[in-house]
Structure 1
Amino acid sequence: MLQETEIRSNGIADAWANRSEFWLSEYAQSLPKRKLRQRNPAPLILNGHGVSLRIENGALVIRDGFTHYPQDRHAYRFFPRDLDLPTRILLLDGSGTLSFDVLSWLAEQGVALARIRSNGEIATVASGTGYAADREKVDWQLATRADMAKRLAFAADLIRRKIANSIPTLEVHIPASQSRDMALFKANAGIARLESETFKDLNAIFVIEGECASAYFRAWHGLPIKWKGTARRPVPQEWRAYNWRSSRATGVKAENRNASHPVNAILNYAYAVKIAKLQIEAIANGYDPTIGIMHNSNRDSPAWVLDMIELERSPIDAQILQFVRGHTFAANDFILRKDGVCRLSPQLARVVAALAS
């Protein structure tokens, strides 16, 4: 006869498997339809434990990982110039192996490979096209960054467009409220200032950006999140609505990384997937991804890509708001660590990655 702890453990395992299968079906339905003779436009998203990529008789053979039991393990075989071959492969955390031959094969076939950590940070991006810099584009990046007047003009225009992109997200996806009205007011006022004022340093631009961002996310406060099965497996009370962008797990300093709330964990993951895609595109288009105009460049940061993601944040927010509003979540969809950090379950992460890519 099973002990109570064994029954509880089995119940949790079953719930995890059921939610994993649910998100797998959601992922399958989200894949775009292809046109005749069109190369596969959707990235191949792999996750779980035991992912493997190897070359076998000239073909790329891939086995997806395990995230739950029981689970049908997906396998793929791609031949050179195969129309089913995706242009991007995303490895979402997990574990597995690949060989040097695989990296060479991917480069020859123009397939980019990106690995995203479970915390929504990029571990590595390898462009399938290699890096053949366009000298004119790189010279423009260097010259614009070196000229403060041009750098300020670039930053002011970039933030103006970022704020302008936030307006449709607020109008369409956030219910009418006093805080939404204030966010729209701040956005329009910020746009006007960025179009008319002359700035002496980047900090003045960042102040406008910060004021608008603060009002923007304040308009999200109180948005309800639907849950099921909480009588059997409760979730933290603060997860029942969205009330802040920064993480409670970062201590006194308010930071957006290491999310403590499910919606922020989803946002961080979606942003990371989009950054990986933009980095691949930047390299393919001949830009140096490390030379930012607004963001400071350093060896460990794709500063140019961080500039470009600013224009994508609000459209991603709109997708995530629609996604959250359209689903009822369960405790098994998220992993709450001992340090208060929230992580996505592997199959939910797969769906979010597909949304953002």
Structure 2
Amino acid sequence: MANKPLPIEKVRKLLHLKFKEKLSYRAIGQALGIGYMSACYLVRKFVESGQIWPTELTDNELRLLLYQQKIPYQPVRVLPNFEEVRQRLVDGSSIRREWQTYLSENPDGYRYKRFRELYQLWCENRLDVNSHAPIPTPCEGALKPKPIVSKQEASQRALNEEECIGEALKKAEGFWHSQVNDNALLTLAGHGARLTVERDELVIFPGTTASTVKEPARRLARAVHGLKAIVIVGYAGYLTLDAIEWLAQQKVGLYTLDLVGDLCLNLIPAISPHRPIQRRAQYTANPFTIARSIMREKLGEAIRVKPALALPYRRILNDISSIGTLDMLRQAEGRAANLYWNQWNFELDHHRDFPEHWRTFSNRSSTLTGSGRKAVHPVNAMLNYGYTVLAGRIERALVFDGYDPAAGTLHAAMDGRASLAWDLIELLRPTVDEQLIGWIQTQKWRKRDFEVNDDGVVYLRQQLARVVIQKSWIPDAKIKQVIRWYAGQLVGREEGFRVG
């Protein structure tokens, strides 16, 4: 027997083909699109019941005979006499009491909610007493049914929508590409970016992005190129060995970032100097003293950028003088950071498609990590790109000056992290914030300037990432100034640090 009963019209057609046309079960199955075993079963049931064809059974009787399906009970609901109901309501009765009276007289009647709806429609003269359905209002009657769209039309509409999105993305990428200014800092992005050497010149091939602007390859000669660093955003491309040698000999920094702004490569040649005296000074210096000095200078730089912090930071500076452990110092640093980021609360200028939860920047922490890592807000994502490149540059400068970049104090030592570089970035972080956030506040933002991965982490479109890296770029002289200040702290030389 078939799992699903056949329509009764098809059953009658089956019996007609068998008894009138004398077809085989296989022929009947092919004609009706059913299995021949199902046809055989239905004919046998019909014959065993003693019926002959043509039959005088009704559709329901034939269905019950072949499938033992009872006709579903359909109660006949009587419409209440709402004129009497209204009169009794005027006399002090309630709608629930009237419904209970109606249901006692008509057990198959309407439930309470439907009873109330029908009474309301009757009061508004909108009840069809024949069908028990509401009479459409003129506005409802004027509503036109939605047109039926074929699969081909739906597919074409989806294709057109994708083309519109693609064009908008190209326009956005082209806009940011127009703001790229490659001078001492060269930024690359896109699929297939590559660096190689031809005829002793560094040849740089930009990658392919959504931007419609096609960049030509660049050729740089030794000594006259004026290049300080190359930053590559993305993960698809290649770098030849002779290009690495060329960059090392010319002392050009090379940094590669993944799409979320994490540092993948920091090219530091093995020919960097080894100065045991400096490293011995690092390892024997009092870590708490160094960390406290970094903390004081960091707060001073924050006050320079945000003068309103002078009063609340005075108490923290007093606390630092009496603190005796690194853990307590880090707690004070956390309180200072909260006060600092509260000063950067602002609304972004934006287009209509910009998500609501991105329109205001109020704190640095991510809901995914509780810190700045794995940003869920575009401003934090842009800051992460700037900080990452700066930390890589400080690490490179420390190695070239003979220091161990992992021997940090304020940031706890961790495998794989240049803790000292992240210590010293604290002195330059307010300057990066001032430059980058100041620029962010002058722009009008779109949703398509950013992407969000499956975890909710926000990252930048590649052309925008190039601009952000350039806007957050700090001159090499300021990095050298920070390292000189650190060298003075190692030998106990008390001197203040000022970027300005």
For residues 174 and 219 of structure 2, the distance between their equivalents in structure 1, rounded to whole angstroms, comes to: 23
Q: How does 1:89-238 map to 2 (within 5 A)?
A: 89-127=230-268, 130-144=271-285, 150-171=286-307, 183-194=309-320, 196-197=321-322, 199-221=323-345, 223-228=346-351, 230=352, 234-238=353-357
How far apart are 1:354 and its partner, in Å? 0.8
* One-letter amino acid of the structure 2 residue matched with residue 269 of structure 1: Y
Distance 1:46 1:89 in 2: 8
Match of 2:496 in 1: none
In structure 2, what is the Cα distance between the partners aligned to 1:62 and 1:220? Answer: 38
Aligned residues of 1:133 and 1:288 also touching (Cα < 8 A) = no
Identify the residue that residue 11 of structure 1 maps to in structure 2.
164
Separation (CA, whole Å) in 1 of partners of 2:341 and 2:239: 41
- Is there any run of 5+ residues in structure 1 with no aligned partner, and where? 32-39, 145-149, 172-180
**Residues in 2 aligned to 1:219 and 1:264: alpha-carbon distance in whole angstroms:** 15
Please name the residue that 1:43 is paired with: 185
Q: Amino acid of the residue matched to residue 410 of structure 2?
A: M
Q: Distance in 2 between matches of 1:69 and 1:297?
A: 42
Q: Could you tell me how far 1:260 is from its partner in structure 2? A: 0.5
Q: Aligned residue for 2:195?
A: 53
- Give the alignment partner of residue 246 of structure 1, picking from 362, 365, 371: 365
Instruction: Please say if residues 230 and 253 of structure 2, whose CA atoms lie closer than 8 Å, have aligned partners that are also in contact.
Output: yes
Could you tell me whether the CA contact under 8 Å between 1:129 and 1:284 is conserved in 2? no
Report the residue type matching 2:334 in the other structure. Answer: G
C-alpha contact (below 8 Å) 1:290/1:297 kept by paired residues: yes
1:341 CA displacement: 1.1
Distance 1:207 1:157, change over 3 A: same
Where does residue 178 of structure 2 map in the other structure? Answer: 25
1:261-276 aligned at under 5 Å gives the runs 261-276=377-392
Distance 1:129 1:106 in 2: 13
SS at 1:27 equivalent: coil
Of 221, 242, 245, the match for 1:79 = 221
Q: Which sections of structure 2, spanning at least 5 residues, go unmatched?
A: 1-152, 474-500
CA distance in 2, matches of 1:327, 1:308: 30
User: Aligned equivalents of 1:133 and 1:275: distance in 2?
Assistant: 21
For the residue of structure 2 that corresponds to 1:335, the secondary structure is strand
1:318 is the counterpart of 2:437? no
Which amino acid is 2:313 matched to?
A
Q: What is the match of residue 401 of structure 2?
A: 285
CA deviation vs aligned residue, 1:115-172 (integer Å, no higher than 9, x gap): 122222211211258321222221111111xxxxx2211111101111111113224x
CA distance in 2, matches of 1:184, 1:19: 40
1:314 counterpart letter in structure 2:
P
Matches of 1:120 and 1:70, distance apart in 2: 24
Q: What displacement does 1:85 show?
A: 4.5
Q: Percent identity?
A: 28
What is the match of residue 454 of structure 2?
Answer: 338
Q: Distance between the aligned counterparts of 1:281 and 1:69, measured in 2? A: 34
For 2:422 and 2:451, how far apart are their aligned partners in 1?
28
After TM superposition, the score normalised by the length of structure 2 is 0.61
Cα deviation 1:258-302 (Å, max 9, x = unaligned): 100000101111110111111121122221212223333344111
Cα distance, 1:270–1:121 mapped onto 2, change above 3 Å = same
Do the aligned partners of 1:106 and 1:128 also contact (CA within 8 Å) in 2? no
Displacement of 1:47: 1.1
Aligned-partner SS, 2:344: coil
CA distance in 1, matches of 2:201, 2:172: 33
Amino acid at match of 1:186: P
Q: CA deviation at 1:4?
A: 2.0
- The answer on whether the counterparts of 2:171 and 2:211 sit within 8 Å (CA) in structure 1 is no
Partner of 1:34: none
Task: Give 1:245 deviation, angstroms.
Answer: 1.4
Counterparts of 2:412 and 2:272 in 1: how far apart (Å)?
A: 21
- Describe the shift of the 1:299–1:133 C-alpha distance in structure 2 as closer, same or farther (beyond 3 A): farther
Q: How far apart are 1:324 and its partner, in Å?
A: 1.3
Structure index of larger Rg: 2
Distance in 1 separating the partners of 2:211 and 2:233: 19
Contact 1:164-1:191 at 8 Å conserved across structures: no
Q: Decide whether aligned partners of structure 1 residues 154 and 296 sit closer, same or farther in structure 2, where only a CA change above 3 A counts.
A: same
CA shift, 1:242, in A, is: 0.8
Q: CA shift at 1:186, angstroms?
A: 2.3
Q: Which structure ranks higher in relative contact order (CA pairs < 8 Å, sequence separation ≥ 6)? A: 1
Report the 3-state secondary structure (helix = DSSP H, G, I; strand = E; otherwise coil) of the residue aligned with 1:304. Answer: helix
**Other structure's SS at 1:124 match:** strand
Any conservation in 2 of the 1:247–1:256 contact (CA below 8 Å)?
A: yes
**After the TM superposition, which of the residue ranges 297-306 and 203-212 deviates more from structure 2?**
297-306
Residue number in structure 2 paired with 1:147: none
Q: What is residue 305 of structure 1 aligned with on the other side? A: 421
Alignment of 1:294 onto 2:447: no
Q: Distance in 1 between matches of 2:344 and 2:199?
A: 53
1:9-46 C-alpha deviation (Å, 9 max, x unpaired):
11211111111121122122xx5xxxxxxxx6x22111
Q: Distance in 2 between matches of 1:347 and 1:188?
A: 42
Across the two proteins, how many residue pairs are aligned to each other?
Answer: 320
Counterpart-to-counterpart distance in 2, 1:125 and 1:15: 34
Aligned mates of 1:119, 1:274 — CA distance in 2: 16
- Report the residue type matching 1:241 in the other structure: T
Question: Aligned equivalents of 2:347 and 2:386: distance in 1?
Answer: 20
Whether the aligned pair in 1 keeps the contact of 2:177 and 2:213 (CA below 8 Å) is no
SS at match of 2:408: coil
